[in-house]
Amino acid sequence: NAGVMQNPRHLVRRRGQEARLRCSPMKGHSHVYWYRQLPEEGLKFMVYLQKENIIDESGMPKERFSAEFPKEGPSILRIQQVVRGDSAAYFCASSPGDYNEQFFGPGTRLTVL
């Protein structure tokens, strides 16, 4: 019974490159959430998706960031033209529905040089 999977676990990019972060939810879960965590800060909500739909992207920067959760395959968080301020841990969580507890993956640690 695999949990939430994220890859890569560590990602290094130079300024201006693109970063793609992947998240496979737990089996049977159709809701995916992305969070960002900076040192000494809490988890900040970015985006909430269901299969083929973005439900809430109120926490995601308007530029350079996008997310998708296709009918088949993992959810992708894409950051274009990365800057040093994008360096953080990005966590994905999944749940079987609304108003339910969320189960987190191990995170992707993005470092922008």
Give CA angle at 63 (95, 50), nearest 5°: 20
The distance of closest approach from Cβ of residue 12 to other proteins in the complex, given in angstroms and rounded to an integer, is 16
> Which of these ranges, 14-22, 44-52, 60-68, 74-82, lies near other proteins under the rule CB under 8 A?
44-52
Beta-strand relationship, 108-112 and 10-13: parallel
Q: Based on the shown chain and the rule CB under 8 A, indicate whether residue 2 belongs to the binding site for other proteins.
A: no
Report the alpha-carbon distance of residue 28 to residue 43 in Å, rounded: 24
- Interface with other proteins (CB under 8 A): 4, 31, 33, 35, 40-45, 48, 55-56, 91, 98-99, 101-107, 109
